[in-house]
Amino acid sequence: MGNRNTVYLTQEGLDNLKNELDDLINVKRPDNIQAIKEARSLGDLSENAEYDAARNEQAQIESRIKQLEKMLENVSIISEVSKDIVGIGNTVSIKYVDDDEEDEYKIVGSQEADPFESKISNESPIAQALFNHKVGDIVTVESPNGSYDVEIIEIN
């Protein structure tokens, strides 16, 4: 599924990254440059905490800009998703075979994964186990805490 550098994103995830990049370039970077200028005007740079803080922030901003630009170069939009078999972009309802508990997860690229929103990475053990299976299939999830079986209830 793509090369190792491919970043899988939903349209919403892509928009969020573009907005963050825009904010870094057009707001945070100019603010930081101003902060550096102001700190420089205070004189002695060897013991200037404001200058050091502004330079550190500059390094973080530039690093994140590079990271986002690299991700955007390698982005693959998750669009056409099949509802027949599990793949990236699907929301999958599962039932844990051992205890009849049910869960629902949306499978997204690792950049968008957010367990608190039930968005799991396509690289996670549960997503890997579910891929290419269909409703009614029982699959074994290999996790660091041992393996367990889940049944696929619904694919959206």
The CATH code that applies to domain 7-77 is: 1.10.287.180
Q: For residues 50 and 36, what is the distance between their CA atoms, to the nearest angstrom?
A: 8
The 3-state DSSP class for residue 89 equals: coil
pLDDT of residue 4: 66
- What does 3-32 look like in DSSP terms, one character per residue? -TT-EEE-HHHHHHHHHHHHHIIIIIHHHH
Do 7-77 and 91-155 share a fold?
Answer: no
What would the two tokens of residue 29 be?
């970077």
Note if the pTM is more than 0.85: no
- Residue-level pLDDT, tens digit, the chain, 156 residues: 445 678 888 888 899 999 999 999 999 999 999 999 998 888 777 788 889 999 999 999 999 999 999 999 999 888 777 889 999 999 999 999 999 899 999 999 988 999 899 999 999 999 999 999 999 999 999 988 899 999 999 999
- What does 82-113 look like in DSSP terms, one character per residue? -SSS--TT-EEEEEETTT--EEEEEEE-TTT-
Question: Domain segments of the chain: what residues?
Answer: 7-77, 91-155
Closest CA to 133 of 70, 73, 90: 90
Return phi, psi of residue 81, to 5°. -115, 135
pLDDT of residue 1: 44
pLDDT of residue 68: 95
Q: Which fold has domain 91-155?
A: Chitinase A; domain 3 (3.10.50)
